[in-house]
Structure 1
């Protein structure tokens, strides 16, 4: 009997983004993969008003023209700016709490407030 050999898969990593510049930022307890010109919805930002510039100081990763900067955990010298476009509310999330045998039920809803930001140049 002839021995069967397994084909080895390529171990070359494929690029995440076709764009030459992208970054990973953290805001509102979440991480976002962004590139210049993106419009993202993030957790509400308290102070700024519509049209103001906001800066994200918690930058985890920055790739600019092939140069990679990786934070530990954040990059200390990098800030990414964006323009606050609007504030709004996400769709309603409802939940139902039901107690068996007593015929009690309680329905609640919640709409989280978001800020929509257009990312500027890095």
Structure 2
């Protein structure tokens, strides 16, 4: 069974056992989180699509780790003006494993 969940402004298609890298959640490593914003759940002919959410549906996941992504470099320059700015950024994210889907 698949589900489409919404978290961190993005949508993810998940099934039990999947491992995801999502926007940072305030949860400890080893803890559990419940995603209650389920947009669609089911498979084949038993697919339920919400308007916008499916009622009484949830997805339970466990937190594997809170990590940071690869560093990206932001470099700005204006030619012939002597202006250069170099900055770096590392995005925080949470790695979760989907445990079960409740329809």
TM-score scaled to structure 2, two decimals? 0.92
Structure ID, larger Rg: 1
Number of residues paired by the alignment? 101
Which sections of structure 1, spanning at least 5 residues, go unmatched? Answer: 1-20
Which sections of structure 2, spanning at least 5 residues, go unmatched? Answer: none
Give matches, 1:101-116, under 5 Å.
Answer: 101-116=80-95
Q: Distance in 2 between the 1:54 and 1:103 partners?
A: 50
Deviation, 1:101, is: 1.6
Q: Judging changes above 3 Å, is the alpha-carbon distance between structure 1 residues 120 and 85 closer, same or farther for their aligned structure 2 residues?
A: same
Deviation, 1:64, is: 4.8
Alpha-carbon RMSD across the aligned residues, in angstroms, is: 1.3
Q: Distance in 1 between the 2:63 and 2:34 partners?
A: 10
Q: Which runs of 4+ in 1 moved over 3 A?
A: none
Matched, 1:63 2:42: yes
Deviation, 1:38, is: 0.2
Matched, 1:73 2:52: yes
Matched, 1:119 2:98: yes
Q: Distance in 2 between the 1:95 and 1:76 partners?
A: 43
Deviation, 1:66, is: 4.6
SS of aligned partner of 2:100: coil
TM-score scaled to structure 1, two decimals? 0.78
Highest RCO, 1 vs 2 (Cα 8 Å, sep ≥ 6):
2
Deviation, 1:76, is: 2.5
Q: Judging changes above 3 Å, is the alpha-carbon distance between structure 1 residues 114 and 25 closer, same or farther for their aligned structure 2 residues?
A: same
Q: 2:18 aligns with which of 18, 38, 48?
A: 38
Deviation, 1:63, is: 1.1
